[in-house]
Amino acid sequence: MKKFLKFILFTVILLAGLGFAAFYFGTNLASEKVMDAVTTELENSGQKEEVKAYIENDPELKKFVEEAETADESKLPFTTKEEATRVLVKKVGVSELKNIQSKVQEGSITKDEVLQMMQKDLTEEEIAALKVIAYKELYNK
């Protein structure tokens, strides 16, 4: 009986460890693929410059992104694109991100609606970190 309990306990711990590893590495893999696809698409299509021009011409968005200049990066929960993507994949989900992207491209969602959706799923610190990353990407800093 004692050996049987040890076997069951070992099996449960092993399965839990494997499940955690699959979740962690699966999320990392998904976030890396999403980040690579988005970066490649923006750079190859010239949309990065369009996004930059759109932000420059919209005072509200420009102010929103420029808040990143004064942010204290040591207090941010993440500082790289990869970490940001991982957080977005975990908290928002790939399907929801794709849904938001398609709505933005169609023009069927406003920037305020996108911000509300992100504020619902992310903390203020995470949004600040996203601003810093966006600022660095757009202005090559």
Percent of the chain with pLDDT over 90: 4
What is the radius of gyration, based on Cα positions, of the chain?
A: 20
- How does DSSP classify residue 58? -
Tokens of 115: 């911000």
The one-letter amino acid code at 45 reads S
**For residues 71 and 136, is the Cβ–Cβ distance under 8 A?**
no
- What is the DSSP-derived secondary structure letter of residue 26? H
Instruction: Tell me the pTM.
Output: 0.64
pLDDT, tens only, 46-77? 666 777 777 778 887 778 777 777 788 888 89
Angstrom distances, CA of residue 141 to CA of 63, 68, 69, 133: 17, 11, 10, 9
Which of the pair, 72 or 2, is modelled with greater confidence?
A: 72
pLDDT tier, 7 (very low <50, low <70, confident <90, very high otherwise):
confident
Confidence bin at 114 (pLDDT 50/70/90): confident
User: What band does 31 get if pLDDT is binned at 50, 70 and 90?
Assistant: low
Query: What residue spans of 46-123 are helical by DSSP H?
Result: 47-57, 59-66, 81-91, 94-106, 111-121
Tell me which of 32 and 3 has the higher pLDDT: 3
